[in-house]
Amino acid sequence: MTPAGRRIVAAAEELFYNRGITAVGVDLIAERSGVTKRTLYNRFGSKDQLVAAYLAERDRRWRSLVRAAVDACESPAEAVVAPFEALRTWSEGNTRGCAFINALAELPDPAHPAHRIAADQKLWLLHLFEELAAAAGCPEPASLATRLLVLHEGALATQPLPAPTLTESTDLARALVRACVPPTGRDRAE
């Protein structure tokens, strides 16, 4: 992406996340990014494509953070809960909840390119939970994955509230994993 394209996406991200996708026009994004509307349209083609680029960039950063959290785990069972720990880090700089949930609410048309990116992000997390649960030896990884996704999304949706929902959700996720995953030799010795 060109430097101008990166500035446009950065301005769009700040504006779309803080004000809402439908509330922000391309005039304001062009102004904030220091480009003309023509440059914005030449680079992205439409506001819809710019929204998709904004979400794709957030998704790339989120997946990278989650993968790093998973890779840092010492056991497969610990890795199953790693996305919750990644969310704790991610939430420090993202106080308006989940950009993907917000986008799905604002863009209900499944054919919208940004809607597809947001939905794919949620499905990716579901599949990751299932993959991690299977690697940890869970006998029903799909069922555990669904439960973990619901907890994770609930923690995201309630993030703006003055309640410890992420901490409680993470604790509940650990309890679900302990109940589903057979103890390892090290766990039995403790």
Using one digit for the tens of pLDDT, what is the confidence trace for 138-166? 999 999 999 999 999 999 888 877 788 89
Looking at residue 114, its amino acid is A
Instruction: State the number of CA atoms in the 13 A half-sphere of 77 facing the CB.
Output: 17
For residue 104, the Cα-to-chain-centroid distance in whole angstroms is 12
CB count within 10 Å of CB 105 equals 13
Q: What tokens appear for 37 in the block?
A: 């509307």
In a domain, 190, yes or no: no
Q: Give the per-residue pLDDT at 160.
A: 75
Residue-wise pLDDT for 60-80, tens only, equals 999 999 999 999 999 999 999
Total domains in the chain come to: 2
Q: What tokens appear for 133 in the block?
A: 């649960």
- 36 with 89, same domain: the answer is no
In a domain, 93, yes or no: yes
- 133 with 108, same domain: the answer is yes
- 15 with 75, same domain: the answer is no
Among 138, 117, 121, 56, smallest CA distance to 83 is for 121
The whole-angstrom separation of Cα 11 and Cα 163 is 31
- 104 with 166, same domain: the answer is yes
In a domain, 125, yes or no: yes
- The CATH number of the domain holding residue 129 is 1.10.357.10
- 5 with 69, same domain: the answer is no
pTM (two decimals): 0.89
Instruction: Determine the structural domain holding residue 36 and report its residue range.
Output: 1-45
- The CATH number of the domain holding residue 7 is 1.10.10.60
- 41 with 55, same domain: the answer is no
Tell me which residues of the chain have a pLDDT lower than 50: 186-190
For residue 98, the Cα-to-chain-centroid distance in whole angstroms is 7
The whole-angstrom separation of Cα 100 and Cα 102 is 5
List all residues 6 or more positions away from 32 whose beta carbon is below 8 Å from its beta carbon: 11, 14, 15
- 120 with 131, same domain: the answer is yes
- 55 with 134, same domain: the answer is yes
- 89 with 10, same domain: the answer is no
The whole-angstrom separation of Cα 88 and Cα 95 is 11
Q: What tokens appear for 12 in the block?
A: 């769009």
